Structure 1
């Protein structure tokens, strides 16, 4: 889908192909972004300022889409010009981590969660778009019925489109109206899908990175047991390791292997866990640097859009406009999910990365030689330093940030509501 939307030529990691915009795909990407993003979003942006401001509902609904789509241009820029970095991050999660300890059940569970997360956001996004088009068709049916009641001398009311957008040509005729309606619906679907799939993709990447830290915790907790199992594999006395303490396990190992061989095996397994930890840290830090302005964009657009949509929802609820209310509610939930996806997954990433220090503490580190204990101590010190996703240094993507944005949006909504009443 990202490839279809013109957001880079996403290869399967096994292909070993790093081209981002090969051959004719580059003109295709430029054409689609100029037509649907620069063109459609540009006309959409003009409407609230030069269009009719007498209809408050039209103005507020138009403004909510303008805020969302305009600030999404920064995300589009990141995907277009930082595509290689993002694909490198995806490759790390998809390929490179499999050189180390993995838990397939946890990975499958994470994939299931990302599918639920994506489908919920896409569902409410489609609901908002579908209800908007349905409301536009319903308003046009009302316009047709009203026109039939007019006499030849009476002036016909202006025909409106489903989505408030500035149209530089006359679309009042039947043929031109249908063509403009289709053009607007296609533009809304295209830009809407860019928003939905960029955000769900980013949320999925964050969730998979946090899952890898959870798997790393398991790797540190079990690396001594795994060394013992590997050393005793095929040994008739392997059953002696079942149900005994780790100290007794080391005694059993020492009765069959030289102490230097045991230490080398423990060191090799521990270094594999440390390398996995360093790989994940580099991946997260690279992701944070690459997409920091995307996170900042998300916070600004969500705060403004949620505030505007709340005003729209209250207006529709008070006037009992069922289709408009359904559209506003669907868009409101889509905006909430859009913000929650990145804040909640970012919070989970920080918690799981910090949990590596606890996992080392839960391991049987006391049976290790002093030299290996010192290496684990360095792992604990690094894991205790918070690993966060920053919105260009202004805020960290976590649950506290999510609640702050929602509270700020509600505060602005309360101020706007009071001004409207006065």
Structure 2
């Protein structure tokens, strides 16, 4: 329960009373927009609001001490030492000042009072006329009961996480990666490049079980094995063992893997605690309508923390592409555009020297067609997997095959398909599928 002063509540009650049904204020009123969160979605939303002509105050409030930065390079180029900190930043320091955006970093938002139009932060109260929640997601962690809080157990989500991991990545050290998703596999690839002994443990029947087709997962598995990574599938973790720090990972089949460090890559959870405390509707994240508005009309949400209507159900996407696209769409709707957000999912991942690009979602696919080399795709010219439901193209996964990705993306974004028989024919020129 918040304990805002009666003076603050009275100060903002008039704003609540004058709010239009659409969530905006009448012409002539000053509109103060506060964005909670300071990641990719927050930065994109603030920039879009200014680009669309919002002239009044914008305040961006973030938990981390750093200004908004790119997350994808953290587990790749930054971890390898190939990208300096300044290149991670989404905007230069002067950009925020030049665009009259107040950026408050290292200042967690602790509570929201929708009635008073005020958020509580560790640095004090912050008022708003419109509030946007761009809170992102937090990494899942193994329970402390099985050793998940031992020193030497890492996650790879934030700049602080990576900075804490880098000193441990010495050649010859033994790393166990728990979780065979994109983040875990990217970290495994980087660690192997740095000379570590790497084992990936996936509890499911195969790596990339929720996020890639079986043929593409096979190509990625072969790539990792060819580079010296041990991949263990279909086996869970029962305990992390050690005293001063983690020293072994105990598996459900009875094996014990000696290690010097562990990276836990078992997914993320949307940040919903603030929304829950404010009484907002939740549904696999902060539930928003097609415009991006929450159950409280003056509060909006975008990015990894938000679920939105799509194809008769609800969807939540964890990707940079969605964070940017949804944040910009919500900014436009805050400004009165009134346009439903229709996601066009796209993703990418770097695995060693191979680039995986994905467009669309394979959910509901009943046919997968592999084009290109079944083994060694990273070195042999690339491969792609085309997923169909009947004759409708749902998803294209392209490994070192940018032409297949671009053709697939254009088709899916346009709501078009490709003839499955033509896709399956190795003699088909990929560009001809656009005709």
Q: Same fold (TM over 0.5)?
A: no
Q: Which has the larger radius of gyration?
A: 1
TM-score, length basis structure 2: 0.24
TM-score, length basis structure 1: 0.24
Higher relative CO (CA 8 A, sep ≥ 6), structure 1 or 2? 1
